[in-house]
Amino acid sequence: PVQQLVSWGAAGAMVFGGVVPYIPQYRDIRRTQNAEGFSTYVCLVLLVANILRILFWFGRRFESPLLWQSIIMIITMLLMLKLCTEVRVSNELNIKRRSFAAADSKDEEFKAPPKRSYLDFDLNYFWHWSKFTDYIQCVLTFTGVTGYITYLWLDSSLFVEMLGFLAVFTEAMLGVPQLYRNYQNRSTEGMSVKMVLMWTSGDTFKTVYFILNQAPFQFSICGLLQVFVDIAILLQVYLYSYYPQKPVSHTTHPASTKAL
């Protein structure tokens, strides 16, 4: 019975433990109405990784807790995106709105030029749209395309294994957008250190869980890589706190709580 309780506890930690690091970041953004310190590309990475992991499950049935973890994580990332989009738009009242799909012709602010295609593939504004529904459209488009390709190649073991590796490798790159953002700003201000500490502890637990439960080898290898990225971000926190590179300048927005 004790062993069974431990097993259930570990499974529950796998399912819900991944979303815990984002709770302090979500609360900080909501309290300060400032999302500059959090990279929304983290949400993009996790959405792509967990969608691919769910598709991988159809080709190779791994443990159910890992499948439910992906579903819970997708919901969490969509909530983070919704909050960050609302905060950013409210702080950029004079910025031209950008959208994933062609806008309604009745709205002059969103009206696209006559020769524009249906999708806005301007890389300068990719994943910086002004409506949460644009992110939903992008996620659904990606899910539909990758799901159709997976359906066609599901009988190929090579494709299934490559899909699994791509899923966990993408997740292993989770911290890279935040790592790069910190490097650009020469600061970790606005980033929740608690979130990164929880990343590190959670990824360490997750990697040990993969090894002990003999999960597909892709999970274990990329789990170790993810831990190394987390440690690199923690080193940034130390370096930029005790050896600041330059004064950090923040754009002052009239509608932001910080400006008030």
Least confident of 73-77, 221-225, 242-246: 242-246
pLDDT beyond 80 at 86:
yes
Q: Is the pLDDT of residue 33 over 80?
A: yes
What is the C-alpha to C-alpha distance for residues 163 and 56, in angstroms, rounded to an integer? 6
**pLDDT surpasses 80 at 108:** no
| Residue 5 CA neighbour count, 13 Å, CB half | 2
Residue 95 confidence (pLDDT): 53
Q: What pTM value is reported for the model?
A: 0.71
Within the chain, residue ranges assigned H as helices are 2-16, 22-32, 41-59, 64-91, 132-152, 157-172, 176-185, 193-212, 217-242
For residues 96-116, b (16+ Cβ closer than 10 Å) or e, as one string?
Answer: eebbbbebeeeeeebeeeeee
CA distances from 99 to 40, 131, 137 (A): 16, 7, 10
pLDDT at 253 over 70: no
Per-residue pLDDT averaged across 99-106, rounded? 54
Token pair, residue 222, equals 């990329």
Region 221-230: what's the mean pLDDT?
86
Q: What is residue 51's predicted lDDT score, i.e. its pLDDT?
A: 96
Per-residue 3-state assignment (H helix, E strand, C coil) for 233-258: HHHHHHHHHHCCCCCCCCCCCCCCCC
Confidence band of 101 (pLDDT split at 50, 70, 90): low
**Cβ-Cβ contacts under 8 Å for 72 (sequence gap 6 or more):** 15, 16, 18, 19
Rounded to an integer, the average pLDDT of 44-49 is 92
In this predicted structure, the answer to whether residue 233 has a pLDDT above a threshold of 80 is yes
Give the model's confidence band at 80: pLDDT under 50 very low, under 70 low, under 90 confident, else very high: very high
In this predicted model, which residue has the larger pLDDT, 232 or 2?
A: 232
Q: Which pLDDT does position 93 carry in this prediction?
A: 60
pLDDT the model gives residue 117: 42
Least confident of 6-15, 190-199, 223-232, 244-253: 244-253
Q: Is residue 246 very low, low, confident or very high in pLDDT (cuts 50, 70, 90)?
A: low
Which pLDDT band, with edges at 50, 70 and 90, does 147 fall under? very high
Q: Which residue matches tokens 């691919």?
A: 52
Per the document, the length of the chain is: 260
Confidence (pLDDT) at 94: 52
Q: How far is CA 102 from CA 26, 114, 134, in A?
A: 30, 10, 10
Q: Cβ(58)–Cβ(150) under 8 Å?
A: yes
The pair of structure tokens assigned to 96 is 């031209």
Instruction: Show the tokens assigned to 83.
Output: 């909050």
Q: pLDDT tens digits for 121-137?
A: 566 778 888 889 999 99
Pairwise CA distance, residues 27 & 188, whole Å? 17
**What residue segments make up the domains of the chain, in order of their start?**
1-97+129-242
pLDDT band at 254 (very low <50, low <70, confident <90, very high): very low
> Does the pLDDT value for residue 111 go beyond 50?
no
